[in-house]
A = this chain, B = another copy of it.
Amino acid sequence: MSALPVFGAGIWHFATYLDRYATEGYGEPVGLIDQIDLAGAVGDLSVVDLNWPFAGFDGTLDDVRTALDRNGLRAIAITPEIYNRDYIKGSITNPDPAVRAQALALLHEATALAQELGCDYVKLWFGQDGWDYPFQVSYQDVWKLAIDALRELCSAHPDMRFVIEYKPREPRNKIIFPSAARTLLAIQQTGCENLGVLLDFGHSLYGLETPADAAQLCIDHGKLFAIDVNDNFRGWDDDMVVGSVHLVETFEFFHTLRKNNWDGVWQLDQFPFREDSVQAARQAITFLKALHRALDALDEEALAAAQANHDALAAQKLVQRVLLSSMVGEDS
């Protein structure tokens, strides 16, 4: 059996949530240190992605380090919260120059933290940068603001990597980076070597992409810096547990990564609104390990031959055989 990948998770996986209806929340708030301890309790996680600012946390950075250490975790990334409070009409594309400056300052600050914690990258998710209504914005202006700010940020920190996590929509009805291709165009325009893509499987899926194809595109541009996995019903970012619905396409996604010798972290971006977060992570990883075994068992030569003929049936047969025997003897 080939070596297992490194598993990770966004730390928010272990938080509780609220939404526009359940405004009092889906559970008691969980503090940052407790979130880290829950991540540690999963047992298979090696890295976490941390939000900045540390919401509702009044401890020190050393407290965070200590908590990470005792759980055998490393901060792989910082995700600055450029989609809360002050940024509801956008961060780097906000119509107000003062808010844009504030957003950029926060991004620099998050980068400094990422450097201090030895992170691999800073994750940029522009959930509030976009539009809701026809005619609301000048698309050209918004795009230019985004490119300029990205160039400024990434040029200022040549030793740090940055990733854009694209997403079609939510919370804005339309987000400026909705797809892999659009994001690659943006990255090209900035001219920044240290700016890449974080491909979230679920975003790709409900954005009408074929996630494995999107991954290949990013890889071919040298830009697949990171990935997230979860699942959904193809109409929204449901952030369900990996393997709930799209078993075959999740398998194809990881097959594409292996084929290209992509060796990054297999990272969870799930929102277990009503589920136990530790158990949700464990079951996702149990499934991912099954996929990993299936990848080992897959007849790559036969698959390549099938694909050379665009033979869907032959390919599916090979895939089902290994996928539908990937949990034999599993009892977790």
Contacts and interface: CB of A to CB of B under 8 A. Distances in A.
Contact of A279 (B236, B286, B287, B313): B313
Contact of A313 (B88, B209, B241, B315): B241
Given A181-B181, A212-B139, A273-B88, A327 B316 contact: no
Nearest to A125: B21
Contacts of A128: 21-22
Contacts of A310: 89-90, 95, 131, 136-137
A-side binding surface: helix, strand, loop or mixed?
loop
A6 interface: no
A90 B274 CA distance: 11
A37 interface: no
Contacts of A169: 236
Contact of A22 (B88, B312, B315): B88
A25 B171 CA distance: 12
A249 to B, nearest CB: 5
Contact of A23 (B18, B241, B243): B18
A72 to B, nearest CB: 24
Contacts of A326: 324-325
A277 to B, nearest CB: 10
Contact of A325 (B174, B241, B325): B325
| Minimum-distance CB pairs A-B, first 7 | A324-B327, A181-B181, A133-B312, A181-B182, A135-B315, A139-B213, A136-B312
Given A18-B18, A22-B85, 8 more contacts: A21-B128, A135-B307, A136-B310, A140-B220, A179-B179, A243-B320, A290-B320, A324-B327
Interface of A: 17-26, 55, 83-85, 88-90, 95, 127-128, 131-141, 143, 168-171, 173-174, 178-179, 181-182, 184-185, 188, 207-210, 212-213, 216-217, 220, 233-236, 238, 240-241, 243-249, 252, 255-256, 271, 273-276, 279-280, 283, 286-287, 290, 303-304, 306-313, 315-321, 323-332
28 contacts: A21-B84, A21-B128, A24-B85, A88-B273, A88-B274, A95-B308, A131-B210, A133-B244, A134-B244, A134-B248, A135-B248, A135-B307, A135-B316, A138-B304, A138-B308, A139-B212, A143-B216, A178-B209, A179-B179, A188-B188, A207-B208, A234-B235, A243-B320, A247-B324, A279-B313, A280-B313, A287-B320, A290-B320
